[in-house]
């Protein structure tokens, strides 16, 4: 229900791969109601980041995340969204929300060499510390602010951020299940992976 189209909101900068090829790989995975691709968002506290840095960060992230695979085994697509509209009014609160550059990464969950399942992140509850290590390494190397030092989610606006996320997910498959999970996340104040695992 937003007022602007993606192209009105952001300049899209392709950093790696080809979107049509990625979509073909995703569509080649039999649809059994499961998620067929990983969607990873790399967000930044900085309001401006050069295209060179965005590209370097993407390549570094790709190298570290996909280290267990040869390039011919996977499909990887990344694009940066650089805000044309720097601020939006949150219709619920009337507050101005600053929009930041971010990178979207899409990795189909298919090993192209073996035609089997591919999941480079592994089980999040096990690999969270490794994914955090990649994030912190990149932040340090490229002199970027760590999200751990600049959390945009506080107790006060946690529900609002969750609400924005819900809007993105509720048009996807299994939306009833996701809606029920989010309701419990909010009502039971689940804020860690261990609590989420218990839930």
What are the pLDDT digits (tens) for 118-138? 999 988 777 888 988 999 999
Asked if residue 1 has pLDDT above 60, the reply is no
- Closest of 91, 90, 92, 80 to residue 52, by C-alpha: 80
pLDDT band, very low/low/confident/very high, at 91 (cuts 50, 70, 90): confident
Asked if residue 72 has pLDDT above 90, the reply is yes
Higher pLDDT, 111 or 95: 111
Paired strand residues for 11: 82
Asked if residue 166 has pLDDT above 60, the reply is no
Average pLDDT over residues 86-110: 88
Q: Give residue 117's pLDDT.
A: 94
Distances from the Cα of 41 to the Cαs of 102, 135, 138, in angstroms? 7, 11, 14
Q: Give residue 156's pLDDT.
A: 44
Summary mean pLDDT of the chain: 85
Average pLDDT over residues 30-41: 93
Write down the number of H helices and E strands in the chain: 7, 6
Higher pLDDT, 132 or 23: 23
Sequence-distant contacts of 81-84: CB under 8 A, at least 24 apart: 81/6, 81/9, 81/10, 81/11, 81/12, 81/13, 82/10, 82/11, 82/12, 82/13, 83/9, 83/10, 83/11, 84/8, 84/9, 84/10, 84/11
The 3-class SS string of 110-167 reads ECCCCCCECCCCCCHHHHHHHHHHHHHHHHHHCCCCCCCCCCCCCCCCHHHHHHHHHH
| pTM, 2 dp | 0.74
Please state, in angstroms and rounded to a whole number, the distance separating the CA atoms of residues 199 and 25. Answer: 33
Higher pLDDT, 2 or 191: 191
Q: Give residue 171's pLDDT.
A: 54
Asked if residue 24 has pLDDT above 50, the reply is yes
Asked if residue 15 has pLDDT above 90, the reply is yes
């Amino acid at each position: 229900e937003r007022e602007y189209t993606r192209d009105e909101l952001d300049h899209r900068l392709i950093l790696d791969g080809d979107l049509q090829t990625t979509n073909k790989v995703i569509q080649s995975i039999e649809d059994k109601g499961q998620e067929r691709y990983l969607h990873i968002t790399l967000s930044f506290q900085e309001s401006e980041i050069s295209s060179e840095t965005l590209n370097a960060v993407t390549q570094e992230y790709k190298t570290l995340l996909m280290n267990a695979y040869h390039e011919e085994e996977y499909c990887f697509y990344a694009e940066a969204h650089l805000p044309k509209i720097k601020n939006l009014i949150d219709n619920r609160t009337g507050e101005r929300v600053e929009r930041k550059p971010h990178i979207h990464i899409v990795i189909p969950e298919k090993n192209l060499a073996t035609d089997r399942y591919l999941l480079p992140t592994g089980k999040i509850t096990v690999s969270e510390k490794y994914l955090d290590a990649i994030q912190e390494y990149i932040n340090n190397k490229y002199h970027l602010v760590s999200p751990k030092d600049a959390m945009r989610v506080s107790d006060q606006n946690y529900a609002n951020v969750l609400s924005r996320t819900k809007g993105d997910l509720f048009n996807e498959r299994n939306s009833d299940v996701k809606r029920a999970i989010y309701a419990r996340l909010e009502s039971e104040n689940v804020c860690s992976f261990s609590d989420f695992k218990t839930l």
